[in-house]
Amino acid sequence: MSNFPASGTYINSVRESSRRARTSAGIKITDEAVARLLQSPAFTGSFADVSKNHGLALPLKFSSPLAELNVISILSLLNFGSGWRIPLHKATGRGAWDSIRAFVLGLYLVSTTGEGDLVSARGMQTIDASKVAELLGVSIHEERPHESIPGITVGTLGGPMYDYCQKIVGVLTETGNILVNAGYPDLGTLVAQALEEGAKVKDTKADADSEVILERLVKAIPGFQDMSTFQGEPVYCFKKALFLINAIRVRFGSTSPPFPLPASTSDLPIFSDNVIPSILVHLGVVDLSASPLFDGVFPGAQERVASLLAAPVAAETEGVPANKKEGPILSLEQSFVLRAAAIDACEILVEAARNSDTAPEWVRTLTLSDLDAWLWQVAKDRADFRRLERFVDRDTVYF
């Protein structure tokens, strides 16, 4: 585990540590590959349609903006589980994001029906794996042959869904304990306080308020401490905390909630999970071919780039299921470095787009937030992209 960045440098530390990790690992990003993506039919033909789809509209009637802020904060905290994508699809027909979104909505609904306020700090302290499994709609038992009676099977706790539910319980109870000990009734109250602190410096420089909010969230809650080391140097991603800051801006930006909003989140570092790095490898932007750390990972990816950057074939754009085969299983070190490479790749892509003399205006005003949304959503929207493998890391609660 790395140390925290110096106070006031959290956002820049994400950018700098990501570039350092990528280059130290020998991961290449060439000008040619960047231009190829930005000029491709895959990008230009779909960007306007999918780049504004952030998936944050929640089909619930909340008692107050603070109640909604609390739910969005919990949703962001639990925005992980990509390593269980295949088991989740088998169990529920949903991937990790849709599963955790359904879980959090269920958590809120249960809390409004008198079964116990599970979205409060004390409720988070008390939740167990069986309740998580119930709300997720999964089984945490697996059938195994009886040890001494042939032909008899018994159900025992275990399997990937049990492990996933235990991860969720761990994050919720840990966070609940911290909130209760600090005197907060729920996570949303802590986040609102961080927003208030950010508002005090909003006008001092670009992203000054987001810098304060990010630091407060990361220092307070272990589930937001998305950082590691590579070759003795820190690597900071902070995916879930950055996602939350942006989610608040997106969700409440057109309203007047009783708490301050971040001034702008359009150029915060991307929210690097397993989807965006994997897609950037498949699209030829992140080149692993010369990196010893990724020898044999995503074999043949460079050979498919041309077809993926072409316009999609209309007849294949609907009704194609996601890939049911797990992608390469990465170590903690590999997953942090590849996620860092994606952060740096997006910074390079946006810089190249804005500095282009020939690109249309909409390309020259590209933002990191919209690029993030496009990469993540197009991975689900295009049939051939849905078939692409994403890397797997189950030893994490950060993505």
- Which backbone phi and psi does 348 adopt, to 5 degrees? -65, -40
Residues 316 and 384: their CA atoms lie apart, in Å, by: 8
380, 386 contact by CB (below 8 A): yes
Q: How far is CA 145 from CA 150, 153, 163, in A?
A: 7, 4, 20
Residues 234 and 76: their CA atoms lie apart, in Å, by: 23
Residues 342 and 250: their CA atoms lie apart, in Å, by: 22
With a cut of 80, say whether residue 170 has pLDDT above it: yes
Residues 112 and 318: their CA atoms lie apart, in Å, by: 37
Q: Can you tell me which residue has the tokens 């440098």? A: 9
Confidence label for 140 from pLDDT (cuts 50, 70 and 90): confident
**3-class secondary-structure state, position 143:** strand
Residues 383 and 323: their CA atoms lie apart, in Å, by: 10
Q: Tell me which of 49-58, 99-108, 254-263 is least confident.
A: 49-58
**In whole angstroms, what separates CA 193 from the centre of its chain?**
23
Report the mean per-residue pLDDT for the chain.
Answer: 91
Residues 74 and 187: their CA atoms lie apart, in Å, by: 7
The residue-averaged pLDDT of 77-83 equals 94
Residues 295 and 33: their CA atoms lie apart, in Å, by: 20
Give tens-digit pLDDT for 300-355.
888 899 999 999 876 454 554 555 678 899 999 999 999 999 999 999 999 999 99
Specify the amino acid at residue 150.
P
Closest CA relative to residue 105, chosen from 62, 69, 137, 58: 58
Q: Can you tell me which residue has the tokens 């140097």? A: 233
- So what's the pLDDT on residue 315? 45
With a cut of 60, say whether residue 57 has pLDDT above it: yes
Residues 378 and 49: their CA atoms lie apart, in Å, by: 10
Q: Tell me which of 1-5, 101-105, 199-203, 322-326 is least confident.
A: 322-326
Residues 224 and 214: their CA atoms lie apart, in Å, by: 9
Give tens-digit pLDDT for 104-139.
999 999 888 776 799 999 999 999 999 999 999 999
- So what's the pLDDT on residue 378? 92
Beta bridge partners of 233: 230
Q: Count Cβ atoms below 10 Å from residue 104 Cβ, excluding itself.
A: 24
Closest CA relative to residue 275, chosen from 185, 161, 170, 399: 399
Residues 266 and 354: their CA atoms lie apart, in Å, by: 14
Q: Tell me which of 43-57, 202-216, 300-314, 321-335 is least confident.
A: 43-57
pTM above 0.75, yes or no: yes
